[in-house]
Amino acid sequence: MALALAGCGGGGESQKADVLPLAKQAFEQAKANGVDLSRGPCLGVIAKGWVADVAHDPRQPVDDLPENQCEAFRSGKAEHFVELDPNGDVIRTG
């Protein structure tokens, strides 16, 4: 599900531009594989230090629960994220 923002930097603007297509590609791959995107799955590491995640839009309290965040983000292996809604639209990056 969604990623908490506490203590994370947003990455540079050029980094965001580079990872947005990767997040959308991960989303499309998950969709093609039949993943239930309405449940807010983690889409995984998409680039060094970045994960893609699906969340509700508007966000819901469940989106901020640690167990609903990508493991790589929780563990510090990734410092940044791209958050997509269940339709694949970018909600935010961090």
Q: Residue 1: CA atoms inside 13 Å, Cβ hemisphere, count?
A: 16
> pLDDT of 25-37, one tens digit each?
999 999 999 999 9
Q: What are phi and psi of 89, to 5 degrees?
A: -85, 140
Residue 64, pLDDT above cutoff 80? yes
Question: What pLDDT sits at residue 86?
Answer: 96
> pLDDT of 70-80, one tens digit each?
999 999 999 99
Angle made by CA atoms 42, 6, 48, in degrees to the nearest 5: 50
Whole-number average pLDDT of the chain: 87
Q: Give the separation between CA 77 and CA 48, rounded to whole angstroms.
A: 9
Residue 6 DSSP one-character state: T
Residues in the chain: 94
